[in-house]
Amino acid sequence: MPSTTRFTVRDLAQVAVFAALIAALGLPGTINIGTSGVPITLQSLGVMLAGALLGARKGVLSVLTVMAVGLVLPILAGGRTTLTSLAGPTVGFLIGWIAAVAVIGWLSYRMVPRYKVLPGFAINVLGGIVVLYVFGIVGMMLRTDLTAWGALVANASFLPGDLIKALVTAVVAAQVHRAYPALLSEPAGTR
């Protein structure tokens, strides 16, 4: 018998709050480094937080909500829409948000109720940097004339900031899970 996934009102509220957080983290704008066309933003911090705090299902739904709203409103960093991002060199990073939040959420779920900062940091690096960069580099190669090595080098300057985001996420997640251990639970009806 196939399982059904039912979300409670609380689950949907959490999804909405994290979608709003991801959108709000785009408000400070972007910092462009080099000519790759991929800016530094805080929105990847929101993606990491959604995975680490909500888990894979609710985290993915938060990211998909941002993408859906972004089809009609310019809520991505730099005042971009989802379609603008999909048409440019950031396509891989935007699509990679889905895989990144899923990996972080799935692995974080397996760590609770004893979420620890160091393993959490490693999970955030794996999902929020390694997985996201793989998607991002492929997207850059498809939308620009960069080779794989060129795209990798173009993204090297983003690494220190992304490592800080991964650490901040792990510290926040450890505190939140200690105070509210049921936050990262599966929606009703799933097993």
Q: Tens digits of per-residue pLDDT, 136-181?
A: 999 999 998 889 998 898 888 889 989 999 999 999 999 999 998 8
Q: What is the pLDDT of residue 41?
A: 77
**Max Cα–Cα distance, the chain, nearest Å:** 53
To which residue do tokens 């999909």 refer? 86
Q: What is the pLDDT of residue 26?
A: 84
Q: How crowded is the C-beta side of 129, counted as CA atoms within 13 Å?
A: 21
- 112/170 Cα distance (integer angstroms): 12
Q: What is the pLDDT of residue 89?
A: 86
76-101: pLDDT as tens digits: 887 888 999 899 888 999 999 999 99
Q: What is the pLDDT of residue 70?
A: 94
Cα–Cα distances (Å) from 18 to 23, 53, 157, 163, in that order, read 8, 9, 27, 21
- 52/55 Cα distance (integer angstroms): 6
Q: What is the pLDDT of residue 169?
A: 97
User: Exposure of 187 by Cβ count < 10 A (0-12 exposed, 13-18 middle, 19+ buried)?
Assistant: middle
Predicted TM-score of the model (pTM): 0.87
Task: Say if domain 9-179 classifies as CATH 3.40.630.10.
Answer: no
- 23/21 Cα distance (integer angstroms): 5
pLDDT greater at residue 2 or residue 62: 62
The average confidence (pLDDT) of the chain is: 87
Residues in the chain: 191
Residue 32 has pLDDT above 60, yes or no: no
Domain coordinates in residue numbering, the chain = 9-179
- State the pLDDT confidence band at 108, using cuts at 50, 70 and 90: very high
